[in-house]
């Protein structure tokens, strides 16, 4: 599948970054992995294949699709 770069608020190639999966319209998020045990303990219905990343609100408000 093809990824289309949407945008980033980071400098010098660091994450976080948003991409669109062109064929499906889904959004792929690149960011720092959440490792805070207190946060992880509060998550619900987590599949073994899932992971969580921290995304600054500014990235979403600036670049997230409005549709």
Q: How far apart are the two ends of the chain, measured CA to CA in Å?
A: 21
pTM strictly above 0.85: no
Give the side-chain half-sphere CA count within 13 A for 1: 12
Q: Please state, in angstroms and rounded to a whole number, the distance separating the CA atoms of residues 62 and 29.
A: 14
Q: What is the pLDDT of residues 51-67, one digit of tens each?
A: 999 888 888 888 876 76
Q: What is the pLDDT of residues 2-28, one digit of tens each?
A: 999 999 988 777 778 999 999 999 989
């Amino acid at each position: 599948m093809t990824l289309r770069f949407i945008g980033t608020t980071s400098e010098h190639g660091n994450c976080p970054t948003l991409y669109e999966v062109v064929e499906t319209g889904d959004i792929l998020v690149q960011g720092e992995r959440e490792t805070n045990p207190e946060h992880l303990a509060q998550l619900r219905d987590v599949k073994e294949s899932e992971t969580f990343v921290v995304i600054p609100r500014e990235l979403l408000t600036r670049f997230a699709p409005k549709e």
